[in-house]
Amino acid sequence: MLTCDICGKEVLLLEEMKTHLLLSHLENAIKCPLCSLSGESYDELCFHISSAHPEEQLTVQGPTDIISSSGGTETGRTDRELSQTSQSCSAEDSCDTAGGGSNRDPGVISDSRQLELNSTPESRCLSLGRTELITLGPETRTETINYHKEDNDWFESGHNKPKEKRLFSPRKDKLFSCPMCALVCNSCFILQEHVELHLEEQHSVEGNCSAYRMYSSGERRLECPICSVIYNDSFSLQEHVELHLDHQAASGSATVGSLGSDLKLATQLQQEEEQQWRHEAAQQEREDFKKLQMQFGLDGKGGYRRQMERTMEKAVARGHMGAAEFHHRKAEMMESLASGVDDGRTRTMGVTRVLYEYYQTESRDVAHVWLSADTDHYSSSAGDKGWGCGYRNLQMLISCLLRVDMYLPYLQERVVPSIPQLQRMIEEAWRAGLDPQGASHFNQKLQGTRAWIGATEIYSLLISLGISAHIIDFHRPTGPRDTHPQLFDWVKQYYCDPSRSSRLPPSVIQTSLPPLYLQHEGHSRSIVGLEQKKNGSLCLLVLDPGSSSSDTSKLLNRDTISRAIRHVRKFSGSLKHKQYQVVSVQGVLTAEEKQRSIFSSGTLRAERIP
């Protein structure tokens, strides 16, 4: 027979005793010791006490009684109360139990019920069934007592601290002792959890031990940055660090040779890299220079004659020219080169005369027209295509000068020279001392090259012939949208003769003035006249050497002149290059003026407008 230690009921089997304890004394007979709440489970009642009576729990100094309906007493403690109880009890507790003398046996934890764990393993309280164990420290002994109805008071008379309360467990299972404290339990799983708490606490203590060692004594601790040794003063730490440095200096002397070799290798690699970079830069510069020479015809691949021969050879190879025609035209070219006179294959005569007749009859919206003296048009040929525009404009200018009596005595041959002959004449001007900077630019040589010429070379040739010339530089736009209205105004002043006494000049005037050489980047043209509309707008009449002879010849036909003249008119919106240069012929020079012009060409300067 088994007898209940609480109510004295006798049962036959152990399972019936567990059922009795669960139904009669655990779930149905628990009552809150601080209010009238009852009939709740143990976990619910613990939650009720911790939430509804927090202030009362803080003031309680001992275990709280939970009164059962049967008159017995059951202990219900929170974690905070158990911790306070463990802290108040000493290792040698002299308090007696409610039933008489103490019976100090090792505490046993049964596996019927487990209470919550306190903050430290030493003060943990585990309660299973009706048996409770409280461990108060590694040296604290435990005792078990039987509960009786009259044990309602947990305090002895005359004592202010609570008595130790221990419940007896009838089970005799295998016991497990904690290797780190005096706790003994009968479940290996509970012991494992208990030991893990010990280990967690130990790790947290070790994590803070360095800071504790540093500041617990209140002294200043300095750590070596090399080996982490702690010193109390800075002087000791300084001496210690200097020892480290001296040792490193002594050991580093053995590696001086290796450091020197590394420095030598790095210097060698840097020099090789710089040499490679200079080589690549020089090669790129040579390639750019070759492209520039090719662009301006200074690549040494021949001039007018060689280009003409290659062009005719390609025409024969493609079947566009027969062998007989090839030899005939080559013979004419050789004769022209020998005589220095242009063969006239690209010349179109009488252009300005045709323009004068056109404006006489077709001047509906035109107020005034000024034209140069009679000028022939010269277009580029197969021998100078791509680079001969400057020479062709010079031929146009000379064709006009040959028709003006003032300039005729200064033109020795009284013919229009060929392009190779013009190159020879410019070289002679350089040798006379004209434009030394331009001569050095072309390396004193134009013959046999495809070099481009510009305003300065035209000026040098005219001065060498004794003809007065001026260069006017329109170096920047002077109107909206990059236009040059001052260029048009200057051309109007050039053609208008202020000495004319007539108040109403005729609408079309052909002057005795030579055409103007107009140069801009990459190309040049000739201005042969100026047209002024009735609304005051100005329009230049320009002959372009890039136009073929067949296109220019359309100006000579009355049926096609209306369409062909569109290519001659150039309004302000058509000239939008950043810079323009104009070469104008303004009379002849005396011998003294020619010498002064040659001397001043050492620092050749143009008249800048604006």
Please, are residues 497 and 364 in contact by the beta-carbon 8 Å criterion?
no
Pairing, β 377-378 against β 523-533 = unpaired
**Is 246 a catalytic site residue?**
no
Looking at 389, 400, 484, 539, which residue is catalytic?
389
Q: Is the dihedral of CA 459, 463, 469, 475 positive or negative?
A: positive
CA dist., res. 447 & res. 355, Å (int): 36
Looking at 79, 93, 376, 544, which residue is catalytic?
544
Please, are residues 445 and 455 in contact by the beta-carbon 8 Å criterion?
no
Q: Report cis status (omega within 30 of 0) of the bond before 138.
A: no
* Sequence letter at residue 433: G
Six-digit token string for 284: 């790129």
The DSSP result for 144-174, as a single string, is -B---TTTT--S-TT--SPPP--B-------
Determine the distance from the C-alpha atom of residue 256 to the mean position of all C-alpha atoms in its chain, rounded to a whole number: 42
**Is 185 a catalytic site residue?**
no
Pairing, β 73-75 against β 184-185 = unpaired
**Is 523 a catalytic site residue?**
yes
CA dist., res. 119 & res. 123, Å (int): 7
Sequence-separated contacts (24+) of 307-313 with Cβ below 8 Å: 307/382, 307/383, 307/384, 307/385, 307/450, 308/333, 308/381, 308/382, 308/383, 311/382, 311/383, 311/385, 312/382
584: closest CA among 453, 469, 436?
Answer: 469
388: closest CA among 350, 422, 354?
Answer: 422
Separation in Å, CA 571 to CA 156, 249, 385, 482, 580: 126, 84, 26, 13, 15
HEC letters along 17-77: HHHHHHHHHHHCCCECCCCCCECCCHHHHHHHHHHHCHHHHHHCCCCCEEECCCCCEEECC
What is residue 349's three-state secondary structure?
coil
Six-digit token string for 214: 């540093």
Looking at 20, 148, 520, 523, which residue is catalytic?
523
* Sequence letter at residue 451: A
Six-digit token string for 6: 């609480």
Q: Sort 451 into a burial class: Cβ within 10 Å, 0-12 / 13-18 / 19+.
A: buried
Please, are residues 177 and 183 in contact by the beta-carbon 8 Å criterion?
yes
Sequence-separated contacts (24+) of 598-601 with Cβ below 8 Å: 598/432, 598/433, 598/434, 598/463, 599/433, 601/433, 601/434, 601/435, 601/436, 601/459, 601/460, 601/463
User: Which residues are designated catalytic?
Assistant: 389, 523, 544
